[in-house]
Amino acid sequence: MNSRLLCRSAYAALLVSLSLLVACEQAFTTSPLSWLERDPDNMSKAQQIRYAEDALRSGSKSSARKAYDALSKNVDADDDAELNLLLADLAMNASGFSEVLPDLLQLAFDGKLGDQTELANQLENKLGDLSYRYVGEALKQIEAAHDKGAVASEQQYLEVGLALVMRAAHANEGDFTPDLGEPEWAETQGFVDDATGRLADPKYIDDLLGYF
């Protein structure tokens, strides 16, 4: 199998993965989960973790926000890094990032995540749709996992990296051209560089790194 075919196979795998994620989120969003109607602030830590896992499965942005805001107050340096990575996923759901995933599927399949023009065309009208506070929280949780010696999945790095690109463009009047003199762009490149160094085989992050 030649390298071009291998690359297409890798992107096809990502396409299927992201498509399944979107499908699961839509299915669970329409399912009644009375558990998620409860207030996680009044739960024990173990209950908050279960609530967080259920909120992720539900695909509900409002439940993800409630879960993150409650559980993040109870996480400390003694907790396993997996809890920080759970919170990173929760924060990304809370940010609304899953709603822009369909616009990224074809770019991933075509290997164009590093194309500034293509990415801008897909995302420029979505910049106001994300809560960048939660994007920042996802970044913070991945960094906390790093401090504990853990490595996030490539999908986590990719989602946060793309959300950081959106945050930087949003902070710079919708300009998708990286300007490393701007703090948001500098932080985004630093995150993608770091992710590339941590992953054993960073196919998609390497593609995003080409953006810079």
Q: Where are the domains of the chain?
A: 3-209
Closest CA relative to residue 186, chosen from 198, 199, 171, 197: 171
For position 38, what pLDDT does the model report? 78
Alpha-carbon distance 50 to 97, whole Å?
22
For the residues of 129-156, what is the DSSP string, one character each? GS-HHHHHHHHHHHHHHHHTT----HHH
Along the 212 residues of the chain, how does pLDDT read in single tens digits?
454 444 555 555 555 555 555 545 444 444 445 666 678 889 999 999 999 999 999 888 999 999 999 999 999 989 999 999 999 999 999 999 988 888 787 787 788 888 999 999 989 999 999 999 999 999 999 999 999 999 999 999 999 999 999 999 999 999 999 999 999 999 999 999 999 999 998 888 888 888 88
For position 197, what pLDDT does the model report? 93
Residue type, 18: L
Alpha-carbon distance 116 to 54, whole Å?
36
The alpha helices in 96-202, defined as continuous H runs, are 101-110, 116-123, 132-147, 154-171, 183-198
Give burial (CB, 10 Å; 0-12/13-18/19+) of 28: middle
Q: Dihedral (C-alpha) 47, 53, 55, 61: value to the nearest 10 degrees?
A: 120
Alpha-carbon distance 148 to 161, whole Å?
20
